[in-house]
Amino acid sequence: MRRVIFNQKGGVGKSTITCNLAAISAQLGFNTLVIDLDPQANTSQYVLGNKSTQMNTTIVDFFQDMLNLSLRKKELQQFIQTSPFNHLDILPSHPDLAELETKLESRYKIYKLRDALKKLTQYDFIYIDTPPALGFYTLCALIAADTCLIPFDCDEFSRRSLYHLIGNITEIQQDHNNNLRIEGIIVNQYESRAIQSKKIVKELIDDGLPVMDVYLSHSIKIRESHEKSQPMIHLDPNHKLSLEFKALYEKLHQPHGKK
């Protein structure tokens, strides 16, 4: 299963959600791959720590090979790196990814990632983190994915833009990927005592949007998780936020439980 985490608004927790769900998947014994398509490379840093800047190959090399006129193309597997966590691999990003976007767009390579991922049959789950914009890399991810998760941070501006975002995803579904479905909206940095947070979430639910019924709390513990490059399940498995990530994972994977 291929799942993309996307929101056009930055700072909503895309990388955090991607890495923590993937870490839980791997801990449960599923062979899991994380693909970082964001030139900021936050997901790569989160999973690999300082080693993220020392990788011999990154996703940049995959896309550069795609632009190469040589008939002998490398398989995507050759660019994937192992992580410090069992069952968790990563295709890391690099800031140079931003410089390739125009060339890739002009060559209309939007289906190449999908075709490459179909060959990676050794993975049970693939999580794809995207840039906070609906550009080439995000389009590639949505074309390649089975489902899309939308992080949401209980902000009024985020609420207004959410409807436009869902419209964009629906258009991509109709034009490029009929199998794509919005799996859910993940309420992140939720403050249960804040009236505004409750009001905004209720409005989304009343409008019939697919809001997940597990909310991720606001917690400063996530900063430590980022700094130590340890997803919450490894840093503090009994922390409230860790338990919320577990509950969210269980909600998402109920039909896919490993026997």
pLDDT in tens, 199-209: 999 999 999 99
The per-residue pLDDT for 90 is 97
Q: Which domains does the chain have, with CATH numbers?
A: 2-253 (3.40.50.300)
Q: What is the pTM of this model?
A: 0.94
pLDDT reading at 256 higher than 60: no
65-113 per-position pLDDT tens digit: 988 876 678 899 999 999 999 999 999 999 999 999 999 988 888 999 9
pLDDT reading at 137 higher than 70: yes
The per-residue pLDDT for 107 is 86
Q: Per mean pLDDT, which range of 34-38, 65-69, 174-178, 232-236 is the poorest?
A: 65-69
Q: What separation in angstroms does the CA of 247 have from each of 11, 45, 140?
A: 22, 25, 29
The per-residue pLDDT for 129 is 97
The per-residue pLDDT for 70 is 67
Q: How many residues appear in the chain? A: 259
Percent of the chain with pLDDT over 70: 97
Q: What separation in angstroms does the CA of 198 have from each of 5, 165, 204, 209, 241?
A: 23, 21, 10, 15, 18
The per-residue pLDDT for 71 is 66
- Give exposure, 192-210, as e/b (b: 16+ Cβ within 10 Å): eeeeebeebbeebeeeebe
The per-residue pLDDT for 2 is 97
CB atoms within 10 A of CB 66: 18
The per-residue pLDDT for 20 is 98
Q: What confidence category does residue 259 fall into, taking pLDDT thresholds of 50, 70 and 90?
A: very low
| Higher pLDDT pick, 254 / 64 | 64
pLDDT reading at 138 higher than 50: yes
pLDDT reading at 257 higher than 50: no
What is the rounded distance in angstroms from the CA atom of residue 35 to the CA atom of residue 4? 9
148-194 per-position pLDDT tens digit: 999 998 888 888 889 999 999 999 999 999 999 999 999 998 888 88
Q: Per mean pLDDT, which range of 136-145, 183-192, 238-247 is the poorest?
A: 183-192
pLDDT reading at 19 higher than 90: yes
